[in-house]
Amino acid sequence: MNHDLFGFEINVWADAAARLGLIVSLMTVVVMGLIYGERKVIARFQQRLGPTRTGPAGLLQSVADALKLVAKEDVRPKSADPWVFELAPYFVFVPIFLMFVAVPFAFHWEIRVLELGIFYVLAVSSVNIVGWVMAGWGSDNRYAMLGALRAAAQAISYELPLVMSLIAVGMVADSFNLTDIVRGQGQVPNIVWQPLPFFIFFVAMLAELNRTPFDIPVGESEVVGGPFVEYSGIRWSMFFLAEYAALFILALLGAAIFLGGWAWPLGEEWGLPWQLALTAIKAGAIIFAIFWVRVTLPRLRIDQLMAFSWKVLLPISFVQVLANGLVLVYEPPQHIADILLAAISGAGLVLVVMIMNRSVGKPRPRPVLTNRAAAATPPARSEAAR
Amino acid sequence: MRGLLKSMGVTLSVFARKPVTRQYPETHRPLPERDRAFPLLLWDENLDEPFCTGCHACERACPVECMTVLMKDNPAHRSQGGTSTRRKIIDKFWIDYGRCMRCNICVEVCNFDAIGMNNTWQGHEQSVYDRADLIQDLPQLLAEHKAGDVKPWIAP
Amino acid sequence: MTQDDAAAPSAEALLAASIWPQVDRALAGVSARPEPSVRDVIVHIPPDQIVRGLRALKQDRELAFDYLRCLTCVDNEDDGIDVVYHLYSIAGRHNLTVKTQLPPDDLTVDTATSVWRAADWYEREAQEMFGVRFRGHPDPRNLLMPEDITDSFPLRKDHPLAEIEVLQGEGVAYSEEPA
Amino acid sequence: MTAPFTHEHEFETQDLMINMGPQHPSTHGVFRMVLQIDGEVVRDVIPYIGYMHRGGEKLAETMDFRQGIGWMDRTEYLAQHNAELSYVMAVEALAELEVPERAQWIRMILCELNRLSSHFMFTGAFGTDAGVFGTAFVYSFREREVILDLFEEISGDRLMYAYFRPGGLAWDVPANFERRVAEVLKSTKQGIKDMDGLLTENEIFRARTVDVGTISAADAIDWGCTGPVLRASGVPLDLRRTEPYLYYDQVDFDVVTGTNGDVYDRFVVRVEEMRQSVRIIEQCMERLRPGPFLPDRLPRMLRTPPGEIYLRTEAPRGEYGIYMVSRGGNRPYRLKIRSSCFANLQALRDMTIGSYVADAVVILGSLDIVLCEVDR
């Protein structure tokens, strides 16, 4: 199970340390790249240039930001709970790192192959909400408190559809081992069989990442950054490191589970660079979509957000799991099973879209235009000209 | 869902457009001729002295009282053996750029076209570390037009 | 704030052609005095009858002054303070200015918030700026000024305007008006 | 201050008081409101204004009519031409000045352009309030910038124009004015299209705004609301139509009214008004003829006879009134600025109670307040 990362035998501890070092350095570089990328992409969406000053085309912007954040004073409010306040960033930060363990980048190129990889990732990822609530509670700030409660409510609500959608995929793939799931998609990626779980996964991922339109815990215009409102300097940057790392990991997961990861369309025979490139391209596409959504959509309100999770996504993901189970239990011939799975899931997706349309209603007709105002009384009578 | 897709389409179409950002300190937008930065005094090249006679018209008209004017007898006047036609001339002049609200009234009330609004970028970029440095005295106010850097626009 | 000298000779004719006859009818039982003005007719009502008059103007079916445009005060120094109401009728599209003159020794008038809720903030502003007390106002706190300043009324004519400190000149103290 | 009250659930809870502003990012300046919230639901709102109070009315009493124009810009820093217009028209009415035709048309064009730039500011800021990450803001600022460039070419300043004068204009527009206006309108139309496409039909935007902050026509009138806030409730009160000034009775345009009086209506009414403004400007450009921009005889120091006037014009945010009392002389005896935002803001409490915290932000944004104008 423990594959050799470097192609030769080394001590287990040294191996672990090397892998850990690899994660940390990779994570830092990736997060810096993501921040730079996000700023550039969003700038283009807004007809701006984005960072240009630091280094060629602003490439060193993230480095400059990091230096600034490290150099900044680490302020703690006098009335904050010192332990809870100071420890909160770690509770957000560490679980994200732990998620990296199971993510497959390429064939035999992962930290650890876990039989229940999906479960592990989900279990670990939900720990970081503790950190959010700690940050909100420890700050002794009402905005932070409000944001933390929103974050907790949202994370719990969207954790369930996320789990159910991944379970549905796991059923189809016949495994919870991420590597096996990817390998099973050599011919056709899972998104074809399971478009509805992909949609649920994408939406729940946005919610888990607190990204627009689900960014109510940090909504700048409402709770002014939510749980982070009192943080500064290095601690604040840890929250953001965690946020972008989570973005990266969830995009990788989405690429691996739904888009065929490194396996589709090239297959296992192609070399490591190709597989890495495939993973990167797919994850990059998901990340680009997230940026695109972020730059376009307004924020939902808390009740709409809750209703969408509990009344739409969760029931429909249960139905998806149930339908998958029925199809798989009765074991129809392979091609019929495939068609059934895809059809049911596609129908579910259409249903979700219909529910969304229905809940919002039709656009209101254009405002009333009156060329002559309604009241016909001439105004001249009221005025006594001198 | 249609509306969401339409919005996404709008942002995507903007993605393809050319950015409108100007890289400000390196590339300045060309300023229109009428641009008003801060008032400065004009230099009469023919007589080699300021146009300003220190008549206090602008000082009295200034809504924020940012100007201080002192006049004196012109030593270069004909009666003193000089060439100038100005009997009185400006002695000392201060304008507090920090208080000036750039309303152009001083230019309008001036009978001698002796004061004008700077219409260059140097006129706008006046940041200093101390407010007192924004108080300009006569040589400073005259310097830019004297050197020919500025051609203020004065309404006909 | 009289304009007798500036009013046109045919003030009566102007008033007759204006909205005044209707106002006069609506204000039965209230002693009101009209005055033509540049744009809208001004009606003077004594302070003790003002709210009655305003309510009559609002409730009159034909006039229906349902809209309070503006409420403010004018300090007439020795003649006390005028409270000025600018009314408008959305359905009838006519305007009216109502004035009441408060004597300097009794700057109290009934609140108009019972007629239009819009009067709320206007009265609070007038109260802190002019020291006019609006009897029965639901929330008579300061609106624009700090809550502890209740004895100084900036918009009155006797309230001094702060001197502009001149930072330049012959020595910093240069501030005299040049001849 | 209202005491936090407790009310019965299965367990006893206490409402949370949240102080929003004056440094909150979505209070559009220095507005402060204290929200009393039960969970996410707003139970009460106490608005506080006055952080921008500069005693403008007192200052205006010390300024002569020319100096006062510059001050008007500073009370309404998003619709400066409209604010100046009320002031100079009040002076003209008192001093009985005739304004040349060309000056009137140019004033109309500039006021409508200013309405466009102000509404662009609204759509951008409102998009940000609703949670669009800066996109609406950047799009609308892009268009506003084009309009401000034109204003700078005409008046010399980007924000504080001081361009209108009692009797006309400070100076004539540049020679390429017509070409430049055509360019600006072209870009503006694209901007309105972008803005409309980005938000109007967007499902999430509609979910956030439809039936939020509703105010009925009767309430809106009672609170003294004007402008788009009142028109969104279905009252066609537009001073350009009901009491025409300048040459608004000679151009063809529609008064835009909403049906529900909610936040969404306030948004679409403003977007539609922008289209109407473009229409008005195009008609004005056709009617613009060369000619004088100031009356022939204008005293060097303008003095008005005694009198008083309440002069109101339709600014982008509603009725911008100047109540000017003159006792002769070259400055007003008393100047009261009837600010549209001031009255609109009064209705905030009624609109907000019972909605969510996130709605409170959107409702405040939909009023499009300018705190300088509220506090003066």
Residue to test with chain B: of D202, D267, D268, D300, most B Cβ within 10 A: D202
Q: Rounded CA gap, A41 and A47, in Å?
A: 10
Report the residue from A46, A221, A361 with minimal CB separation from D131: A221
pLDDT digits (tens, 9 = 90+) for D120-142: 999 988 888 888 878 888 888 88
Chain B: give the shortest CA distance to residue C161, in Å: 13
The band of B147, judged by pLDDT with boundaries at 50, 70 and 90, is confident
In this model, does residue A383 exceed pLDDT 50?
A: no
pLDDT of residue C171: 52
User: CB contacts < 8 Å between B and D, how many?
Assistant: 79
By the CB < 8 Å criterion, does B18 face chain A? yes
* Residue B106 located in a structural domain: yes
Reported as a pLDDT band with limits 50, 70 and 90, residue C9 is low
Angle separating helix axes D65-75 and D80-95, nearest 10 degrees: 150
Among A193-207, B103-117, C10-24, C70-84, the minimum mean pLDDT is found in C10-24
Domain-embedded: residue A32? yes
Binary contact (A301, D127; C-beta < 8 A): no
Residue where the block lists tokens 């209506």:
D265
**CB A297 within 8 Å of CB D202:** yes
Q: Please give the mean pLDDT across all residues of chain D.
A: 86
> C3 pLDDT band (50/70/90 cuts)?
very low
- Determine the distance in angstroms separating the CA of C106 from the nearest CA of chain D, rounded to an integer: 21
Q: Does B151 touch chain D (CB under 8 A)?
A: no
Contacts of D310 (CB under 8 A, 6+ apart): C39, C40, C69, C70, C86, C95, C97, D321, D322, D323, D338
Tokens standing for residue C142: 């300061």
pLDDT greater at residue D338 or residue C1: D338
Interface residue A295 vs chain B (CB under 8 A): yes
Distance, in Å, from the CA atom of D182 to the CA atom of D282, rounded to the nearest integer, reads 8
The torsion angle over the Cα atoms of residues C27, C28, C34 and C36, rounded to 10 degrees, is: 60
Query: Token pair of D72, please?
Result: 């008007």
- Nearest CB among A48, A297, A353 relative to B19 is that of A48
Q: Are residue A315 and residue A335 in the same domain, yes or no?
A: yes
End-to-end CA distance of chain B: 58
The tens digit of pLDDT for each residue in A286-295 reads: 999 999 888 8
Which helix or strand (DSSP H or E) is residue D45 part of? strand D41-48
Closest partner residue to A377 (CB to CB) among C36, C38, C93 is: C93
| Mean predicted confidence (pLDDT) in B10-27 | 86
Calculate mean pLDDT across residues A92-98: 84
> Over chain B, what is the mean pLDDT?
84
What is the mean predicted confidence (pLDDT) over D162-183? 88
Residue A108 DSSP symbol: T
> Between A215 and C19, where is the model more confident?
A215
Question: How does residue A6 score in pLDDT terms, banded at 50, 70 and 90?
Answer: low
Residue contact A293–B17, C-beta within 8 A = no
Structure tokens at D27: 């209070």
For C176, the closest chain B residue by CA position comes to B68
Domain at B68, CATH number: 3.30.70.3270
Please give the pLDDT value at position D203. Answer: 85
Q: How confident is the model over D278-303, as a mean pLDDT?
A: 85
What pTM was estimated for this model as a whole? 0.87
Residue A331 and residue A225 share a domain: yes
Residue with token string 């009672």: D222
Going along chain C from its start, the domains and CATH numbers come out as 11-135 (3.30.460.80)
Helix residue ranges, H only, chain D: 56-62, 65-75, 80-95, 101-130, 135-155, 177-195, 203-209, 217-222, 227-232, 239-242, 263-287, 340-346, 348-352, 357-367, 371-375
Binary contact (B103, D154; C-beta < 8 A): no
To the nearest whole Å, the CA of D355 is away from the closest chain A CA by: 11
> Is residue C89 within 8 Å of residue C33, measured between CB atoms?
no
Quick one: pLDDT at residue B78? 79
Report whether pLDDT(C5) > 70: no
pLDDT band at residue A172 using 50, 70 and 90 as cut-offs: confident
Contact D110, D316 (CB under 8 A): no
Please indicate if any CB of chain D lies within 8 Å of the CB of B91: no
Interval A118-161: pLDDT, tens: 888 888 888 888 888 888 888 888 888 888 888 888 888 888 89
How many folded domains does chain A comprise? 2
pLDDT bin (cut points 50, 70, 90) of residue D119 is very high
**Location of structure tokens 């009837």:** D338
Domain residues for the domain of B124 are 31-146
| Token pair recorded at residue D200 | 């109007």
Rounded to an integer, what distance in angstroms lies between the CA atom of residue D70 and that of residue D59? Answer: 12
Above pLDDT 70, what percent of chain B? 100
Q: How confident is the model at residue C175 (pLDDT cuts 50, 70, 90)?
A: very low
Taking the C-alpha atoms of residue A296 and residue A283, their distance in angstroms, rounded to an integer, is: 20
Chain D positions contacting chain C at CB under 8 Å are 49-50, 53, 55, 57-59, 62, 93-94, 221-224, 235, 237, 242-243, 305-312, 319, 321, 323, 325, 333-334, 336, 338, 342-343, 345-346, 375
Specify the pLDDT at position D188.
92
Closest-CA residue of C relative to D223 is C118
Is A371 inside any structural domain?
no
CB contact under 8 A, A381 and C94: yes
Q: In terms of C-beta density within 10 A (0-12 exposed, 13-18 middle, 19 or more buried), how is residue D373 classed?
A: buried
Per-residue pLDDT, averaged over D113-120, amounts to 92
Domain count within chain B: 1
**CA-based nearest residue to A31, from A185, A253, A189, A247:** A247
The full set of domain ranges for chain D reads 56-348
* Residue, of C73 and A187, whose pLDDT is higher: C73
- Chains with 3+ CB–CB pairs under 8 A to C are A, B, D
Closest residue on chain B to D163 (Cα): B103
Cross-strand partners of B106: none
Q: With a cut of 50, say whether residue A374 has pLDDT above it.
A: no
Establish if A134 touches chain D: CB-CB under 8 angstroms: no
**Which CATH architecture is the domain D56-348 placed in?**
Orthogonal Bundle (1.10)
Classify residue B1: in a domain, yes or no. Answer: no
Distance from CA of D240 to the nearest CA of A (A): 11
DSSP A50: -
Q: Give the side-chain half-sphere CA count within 13 A for D289.
A: 4
Q: Is residue B154 part of a domain?
A: no
Q: Which of A150, A212, A221 to mutate to test the interface with D (most CBs of D within 10 A)?
A: A221
The distance from CA A210 to its chain's CA centroid, rounded to whole angstroms, is 7
Cβ(A24)–Cβ(A98) below 8 Å: no
Quick check: is A369 in a domain? no
Q: Which of D344, D302, D303, D304 is nearest to D320 (CA)?
A: D344
Q: Are strands D334-338 and D318-326 parallel, antiparallel or unpaired?
A: antiparallel
- Report whether D139 contacts A46 (CB < 8 A): yes
Q: Are residues A81 and A62 in the same domain?
A: no
Q: C164 CB near a chain B CB, below 8 Å?
A: yes
What is the tens place of the pLDDT at every residue in A275-288?
888 888 888 899 99
Asked if A62 and A82 sit in the same domain, the reply is no
D231 pLDDT above the threshold of 80: yes
> Percentage of chain D surpassing pLDDT 70?
97
Lowest mean pLDDT among B144-153, D136-145, D263-272: B144-153
Q: Do D221 and C90 touch (CB under 8 A)?
A: yes
Whether residue C93 and residue A385 make contact (CB cut-off 8 A), yes or no, is no
Q: Which domain holds residue A28?
A: 13-71
Q: Which chains touch B (3 or more CB pairs under 8 A)?
A: A, C, D
pLDDT interval class at D117 (50, 70, 90): very high
Do A258 and D170 touch, CB atoms closer than 8 A? no
CA distance D265 to D258: 5
Based on the domain organization, do A169 and A289 belong to the same domain?
yes
d(Cα D147, Cα B10) in Å, to the nearest integer? 22
Q: Which residues of C touch A375 (CB under 8 A)?
A: 90-93
Whole-angstrom CA distances from A148 to A144, A219, A250, C107, D11 are 6, 11, 21, 52, 22
Q: Could you tell me if residue B68 is inside a domain? A: yes
- Per-residue pLDDT reduced to its tens digit, D77-112: 888 899 899 999 998 888 888 888 888 899 999 999
Residue A353 has pLDDT above 70, yes or no: yes
Give yes or no for A296 touching B (CB within 8 A): yes
Q: Is pLDDT above 80 for D18?
A: yes
DSSP string, D281-350: HHHHHHH-----SS-S---SS----SEEEEEEEEETTEEEEEEEEE-SSSS-SEEEEE-HHHHHHHTHHH
In the prediction, which pLDDT does D113 show?
A: 92
Q: Cβ of D95: how many Cβ atoms within 10 Å? A: 18
Q: Looking at chain B, which residue has its C-alpha nearest residue A352? A: B1
Q: Locate all alpha helices (DSSP H) within chain C, ordered by sequence.
A: 11-17, 20-26, 50-59, 119-130
Question: For residue B135, which residues of chain C lie inside 8 Å, CB to CB?
Answer: 167-168
A220, A366, A386 member nearest D25 (Cβ): A220
Report which secondary-structure segment, H or E, holds B69: strand B67-73
Q: What share of chain C is helix, strand, coil (3-state, %, to 5)?
A: 25, 20, 55
- Across C49-54, average pLDDT: 86
The rounded distance, in Å, linking the Cα atoms of A53 and A31 is 20
pLDDT digits (tens, 9 = 90+) for D194-214: 888 888 888 888 888 888 888
- Cα of D269 to nearest chain B Cα, Å: 18
Work out the angle at residue C100's Cα, subtended by the Cα atoms of residues C97 and C105, and round it to the nearest 5 degrees: 155
